[in-house]
Structure 1
Amino acid sequence: MTSSPVTTIQEWLVGPLNTPFFTTSWSVAQPERTIVFVHGFNEHITRYDHYFTLLSQLTSSRIFAFDQRGFGHSAFTLPPSSEEHSHLKGTKRSRKGITNTPQQRVDIEFWVRKEAEKAKGGKVWLYGHSMGGALVLGIPTYAASSASGTNAGDVPLLSLLSGIISSSPLIHQTTPAPKWQVSLGNGVANLTSFLANRHIPAPVDPAQLSRDPAKVEENRKDVLCPQTASLGALGPMLLTGQALLTDGAPKDWPVDLPLLIVHGTADAITSPKASHEFHSLLPAEHIKNKYITVEGGFHELHNEPAPIWEHLAKDVSEFVLAQSSNSSVPVAAQVETVGAGEQQSKL
C-alpha cells in the first residue's frame, strides 16, 4: 500500500447564488487526476478524511469535496470574516436543511467545471454517496437538458467527466418513507418557500450506518448530522432517486462514460436491490461498468470497520486506474460479490 503524503486543505469558496461553501481537498504532490465528491443526506465532508486520504494515495489524485447547500459547515457554521476571507463579504449563507434537487445539480456542475479548469483542461471523476450517489447517477440526464451549460462558451458537461462512481445510492429506501411525507414534501416544494422551508423529523439511526461502534458514536454526537429535514428538500430528494428507474436514466447512459456502483447487502437505509436494478438496465453495449456487492456491508462502506473501508478504496482505485488513458485493456461490464473473508484476503 502506497504511503505518498497527502495534503489536506480546507477553504471557504463562493459558489452559485453567491453562496459560501465549506470545501476540502485531499491531494498528493503531483496528482494525475481529479475526483469531485458529493456527500449524502444530513452529513458533511469532514467525516471522509480517513477514507479520502487513502483514496488520494491509491489513485494519485486530488479529491475535492464540498458541504452541500443546506448541509454541514456550509449551513451550520458562520463563514470567517477575517481579512484573509474578504472574498466572502456580501455572500449569502445557505440555511440549515434548505435545498432542492435542481439547485443541487447546478452546484455540482459548478464545482465540476471549476475543478476541470483547475486541472488545466483535464477531465474529472464524479463520485457520490447515498443522496449524492443518486445525484451523480442523474447527471448524464441533467447534462443533456437545457438546464446545463447555460453560460456562454460552456463546453458540454459530459465532456468534462472521466467517469462516475456511486456508493449506496438513494434510488429507493430500504424501508420507504410514508407516501404522505413524500407527497407533502414534493407538493410544498412547488408552492411557497415558507412551507418548503418547514422542518420535520427525518431520523436516521446511526447504528444502521456502520458496524464500527466508534463511527456510530461519532455520528450520534455530531451536531452537523441533524435528525430533521425541510419539506422542500426531503420529498424531491426521494422522488429524484425513484425517477432514476422510471425516467430511463440507465437505458440512456452514455456508452463511453464509465460507471462503478458499490452497495452493501445489509444496507438498511438505501436499497441495494434498486442499485442492482439500475445497473442491470444499462445498455448492453456499455462495457465500461462494474457493480460491486459487499456482503453484509452497511450503508456507509467508507466508515465500516477495517479492512472493509480500506478495501472499498482499493476497489474504487482499481476501477479508476483501469479506465485511465494509459490503459490499453477495456474493462468489461461485470458484477462482483465481495465477502468479508475475501476482503481480508485481498488486502
Structure 2
Amino acid sequence: MKALTERCETATKLPNLVATMTASPFIDAWLTGPGDVRFYTRTYTPSDTPVAVLVFAHGAAEHCGRYTHFHGSLSTDHAIAVFAYDQRGFGRTALDVQNRTPGAMYGKTTWANQLEDLEWAIQTARNAFHDVPVFLMGCSMGGGIVLGYMARQNRPSETDTLISGVIAGSPCIKLTREPPKALLWVAHQIARIHPYMQYPLRNKSEDLSRNEETNAAYDADPLVGVPGSLRSLEDMITEGGRLLTNKYAHWPEDVSVLFLHGTADQVTSSVAAQQLYDKLPAKRKKMITYPGARHELHNEPDGVREQSLSAVADFIKTVTGGSQ
C-alpha cells in the first residue's frame, strides 16, 4: 500500500480547492464533500454550450482516470459536460498522501457513504453547469450505486428532481461467479470486527476486456487495487440483491434509464441486469447488450467501445430533446 500511495500524482494548491489544468480536456480539483472528506475530481467542459452534464461513478478497485478517453469524447464530440470523482476509499481520494483526508484509507467506505457522496456530486455538478439536464452514469459498482440511489425508499429529495436519466454500464446487481454462501457468512463475521480489512485478491485483467493494451495498463496502474474492503464488498453485493428483490419498485417512473452490458461479462451478471431492467417501472427504458463483450465496454475492441459511447450520447440527446 505504501508503494501505491507514494506513486500517486499530486495537484497544485489553490485557495479552497486544488486545481490543475492538464493537456486533456478536463480540470482536476480537490473538493470537500460529506464528512469533510476531500475528493479528487475531474470536470470536462465542452467548448460549446453543453446539452447536459453527466455525473459519473466508477467501479470498484479503480478510479475516474481510467475513463479519460470516454469522458473526453463525450465532452469534445457530443457537447456533454462530465463531472467525475474518485470515490471515497478509492483512487486518489484514498491514496494521495498529500491531499487526501486524514484517516482516509483504501476501501474505507459504506453504501450509505456512497449514496451521500453521489448526492453531493450531483449538487456540485449542478452548481457548475446551471440550467442543463443532469444525468447519472455508473459502471460496475458505480452502476449499482446510481441505480440504488434512484431506487432508495426515502426519496424524493430536492436533488432527485434534477435527474433526467440514468445510465448503468455493466452494473453490479449480482456477480457473474457468485461466492459460496459459507464464504459470505465467514466474510460477514470478520467484517463485523474488521470492517475495512481489504479483500485479498485483485480482479483478473483478462476478465475486464479483450483489449490487451488496456488490460496491461490496469495491471500496472498504481491507483488500482483490490475490489475493496470486506464491508464495502458486502454492501455492494447485498444492495444489488435488494435492488432486484424489492427496491426496484421505488424507481421514479418519469426518470429514463439505459442499461449497457456485455453478454460475456466475467465480473457482473448480464442476466441479473436484464432481470432488474425488466422489473424497473420506468416509462422510458432501454437495454443494449453486446454479444461476446466483457466487463469494460469502454475498452472493448471490435467497435464495442465506439458503439457504447454513441449509445450513451444518443440516450442523453434523445431524453433532453424529448423534455424540451
The TM-score range, normalised by the shorter chain, is: 0.7 to 0.9
**Offset, 1:307:** 2.4
**Offset, 1:231:** 1.4
2:41 aligned residue (11, 16, 23) = 23
**Offset, 1:6:** 7.2
Q: Specify the alignment match of 2:15 in structure 1.
A: none
Q: Secondary structure at the match of 1:24?
A: strand
1:68 and 1:118 mapped to 2: Cα distance? 19
Q: Specify the alignment match of 1:137 in structure 2.
A: 147
Q: Specify the alignment match of 2:112 in structure 1.
A: 102
Deviation string, structure 1 residues 47-101 (Cα, Å, up to 9, x no partner)? 1111111122343111010000010111111234xxxxxxx8xx53521111111
1:212 and 1:271 mapped to 2: Cα distance? 20
Letter in 1 for 2:161: S
Distance 1:177 1:244, change over 3 A: same
1:306 and 1:18 mapped to 2: Cα distance? 43
1:94 and 1:123 mapped to 2: Cα distance? 33
- RMSD (Å), alpha carbons: 2.1
Q: Specify the alignment match of 2:67 in structure 1.
A: 48
**Offset, 1:223:** 2.2
1:215 has 2:214 as partner: yes
Q: Specify the alignment match of 2:277 in structure 1.
A: 279
Q: Secondary structure at the match of 1:132?
A: helix
More off after superposition, 236-245 vs 62-71: 236-245
Q: Scaled by the length of structure 2, what TM-score is found?
A: 0.86
Q: Secondary structure at the match of 1:324?
A: helix
1:291 has 2:287 as partner: yes
Letter in 2 for 1:257: V
- Identical aligned pairs, as a percentage? 33
Letter in 2 for 1:39: H
Q: Specify the alignment match of 2:20 in structure 1.
A: none
Alpha carbons 1:123, 1:162 under 8 Å: kept: yes
1:303 has 2:299 as partner: yes
Letter in 2 for 1:145: N
1:230 and 1:160 mapped to 2: Cα distance? 32
Q: Specify the alignment match of 2:265 in structure 1.
A: 267
**Offset, 1:113:** 1.2
1:201 and 1:307 mapped to 2: Cα distance? 34
More off after superposition, 128-137 vs 202-211: 202-211
Q: Secondary structure at the match of 2:72?
A: helix
Gapped regions of structure 1 (runs ≥ 5): 81-87, 150-154, 329-347
Gapped regions of structure 2 (runs ≥ 5): 1-22
Q: Specify the alignment match of 1:246 in structure 2.
A: 245
Letter in 1 for 2:105: R
Q: Scaled by the length of structure 1, what TM-score is found?
A: 0.81
Aligned residues: 301
Q: Specify the alignment match of 1:176 in structure 2.
A: 178
2:188 and 2:133 mapped to 1: Cα distance? 35
Deviation string, structure 1 residues 7-26 (Cα, Å, up to 9, x no partner)? 21111111111111111122
**Mapping of residues 78-93 of structure 1, within 5 Å:** 78-80=97-99, 91-92=101-102
Q: Specify the alignment match of 1:199 in structure 2.
A: 198
Alpha carbons 1:261, 1:292 under 8 Å: kept: yes
Letter in 2 for 1:114: T
1:313 and 1:38 mapped to 2: Cα distance? 16
1:120 aligned residue (116, 130, 134) = 130
Q: Secondary structure at the match of 2:283?
A: coil
**Offset, 1:182:** 2.9
Deviation string, structure 1 residues 205-238 (Cα, Å, up to 9, x no partner)? 1001011110111111112211363211111111
More off after superposition, 40-49 vs 50-59: 50-59
Alpha carbons 1:100, 1:232 under 8 Å: kept: yes
